[in-house]
């Protein structure tokens, strides 16, 4: 869910806070432009990068910053719209007029503002900048809300010497543009140059609509670290970009509770009957752990998935297994599953959201603190709301479309372990980022 903006401008219950007049009616919106007609990489904006749609990386950072009154994706493509909504964003369906190859970002943003007169400040975040962090957004926005700037954009410091380009075949000599070759500086003796990195552009409504530009008025920049200045438009080598994102991307704040549907996720959806249980065939027994009851019912769970559950529990992630009340056989084996996995088992009705939501509230958690793995169309709402979510590769299309992480394995064949490793990576990265933030605060 998109959180309302929070910060020093809110009134405390016991204290009156004077709000600057020009900010009293402000509405700050994030806007990600994601046209479907990418020429370089088809549907690049939703292409999976480290298991997550490219646009998902910046949406997660924007929403977790809790600085925006609304987060939007402007698109002309149905599939991009579905992905955007699954990540908690609103969708602005842009017109054909601003969906052409020669349409500019400014034209698209102006169209958005025309349809949303409540927006007073807009932040154009580029979908191709997957290493954006909430802290970048928070600190940049302060320059507008607290320091009174009209526009703020992101830059990165580069240490590159530039030379004048000369026409091929010309006798003209090239000349240095930003150095004296006779006194070539060492890197540590030179401050470098600030270059736009394209991650985001904050601007007021008046600047965009009245002056027709994103940079103007009182202008400020926000300097980002080189490791966070990854641009997929430039880094066209996808595997290289994935390695950068896995190391420097924003993975969220870490989940503490995970729901996992048993049928279709933890198992392949089949339950074995008596007569075929005494001597399981080698294929079914290989890599699986079996549980059977006195009535001759048996369920098989892949050993990799069991290991994944164990790793989550070891890292203080509570795992709750979900069984449909319609699944009479699994309900009978509820106790066996609990013993087998060490996880709590809950039974849900036709709409899993109702029961799962109740448990989330009971544990006093927000959906961003929750991971969900499901395979049925009925699970789509849970998959959309959860901070992290996934569906096995053989799940129903609606479930796959609602999940935020794309599994390569099927239900009962390692998909749970695959998603568990993604959850654990997210927690690890979140801890590292929190540690780095603490170091940064103590140093300045």
Sign of the alpha-carbon dihedral angle for 81, 129, 402, 399: positive
Tell me the C-alpha distance between 81 and 213, whole Å.
Answer: 27
Rounded alpha-carbon distances, angstroms, from residue 234 to 230, 231, 237, 444: 8, 5, 9, 33
In contact, 222 and 105? CB cutoff 8 Å: no
In sequence order, what DSSP letters do the residues of 46-75 get, joined into one string?
A: GSEETTEEHHHHHHHHHHHHT--SEEEEEE
| Residue 184 is a catalytic residue | yes
**Main-chain dihedrals φ then ψ at residue 36, nearest 5 degrees:** -80, -15
Q: What token pair was written down for 245?
A: 């994102």
Q: What token pair was written down for 14?
A: 């016991």
User: Which residue matches tokens 């601003």?
Assistant: 98
CB atoms under 10 Å from CB of 105, counted, come to: 15
Rounded alpha-carbon distances, angstroms, from residue 68 to 100, 124, 200, 256: 28, 12, 14, 25
How many residues are given for the chain? 444
Largest CA distance in the chain: 92
Catalytic residue among 184, 213, 247, 431: 184
Residues annotated as catalytic are: 184
């Amino acid at each position: 869910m998109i959180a309302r903006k929070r910060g020093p401008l809110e009134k405390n219950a016991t204290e009156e806070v004077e709000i600057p007049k020009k900010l009293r009616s402000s509405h700050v919106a994030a806007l990600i432009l994601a046209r479907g007609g990418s020429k370089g990489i088809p549907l690049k904006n939703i292409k999976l990068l480290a298991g997550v749609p490219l646009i998902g990386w910046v949406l997660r950072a924007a929403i977790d910053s809790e600085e925006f009154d609304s987060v939007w994706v402007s698109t002309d493509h149905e599939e991009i719209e579905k992905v955007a909504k699954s990540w908690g964003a609103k969708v602005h369906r842009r017109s054909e007029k601003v969906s052409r190859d020669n349409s500019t970002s400014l034209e698209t943003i102006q169209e958005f503002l025309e349809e949303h007169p409540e927006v007073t400040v807009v932040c154009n975040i580029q979908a191709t900048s997957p290493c954006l962090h909430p802290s970048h957004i928070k600190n940049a926005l302060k320059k507008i809300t607290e320091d009174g700037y009209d526009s703020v954009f992101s830059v990165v410091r580069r240490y590159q010497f530039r030379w004048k380009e000369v026409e091929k075949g010309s006798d003209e000599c090239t000349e240095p543009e930003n150095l004296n070759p006779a006194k070539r500086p060492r890197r540590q003796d030179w401050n470098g140059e600030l270059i736009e990195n394209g991650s985001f552009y904050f601007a007021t409504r008046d600047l965009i609509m009245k002056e027709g530009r994103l940079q103007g008025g009182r202008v400020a920049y926000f300097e980002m670290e080189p490791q966070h200045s990854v641009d997929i438009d430039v880094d066209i080598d996808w595997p290289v970009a994935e390695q950068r994102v896995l190391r420097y991307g924003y993975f969220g704040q870490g989940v503490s509770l995970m729901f996992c549907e048993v049928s279709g996720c933890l198992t392949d959806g089949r339950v074995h009957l008596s007569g075929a249980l005494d001597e399981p065939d080698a294929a079914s027994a290989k890599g699986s752990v079996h549980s059977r009851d006195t009535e001759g019912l048996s369920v098989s769970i892949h050993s990799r998935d069991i290991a994944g559950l164990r790793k989550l529990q070891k890292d203080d992630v509570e795992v709750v297994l979900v069984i449909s009340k319609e699944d009479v056989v699994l309900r009978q084996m509820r106790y066996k599953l609990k013993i087998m996995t060490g996880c709590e088992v809950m039974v849900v009705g036709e709409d899993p959201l109702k029961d799962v939501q109740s448990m989330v509230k009971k544990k006093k958690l927000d959906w961003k603190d929750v991971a969900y793995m499901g395979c049925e169309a009925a699970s789509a709402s849970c998959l959309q709301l959860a901070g992290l979510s996934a569906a096995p590769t053989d799940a129903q299309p609606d479930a796959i479309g609602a999940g935020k992480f794309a599994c390569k394995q099927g239900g009962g064949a390692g998909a749970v372990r695959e998603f568990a490793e993604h959850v654990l990576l997210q927690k690890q990265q979140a801890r590292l980022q929190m540690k780095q933030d603490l170091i940064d605060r103590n140093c300045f």
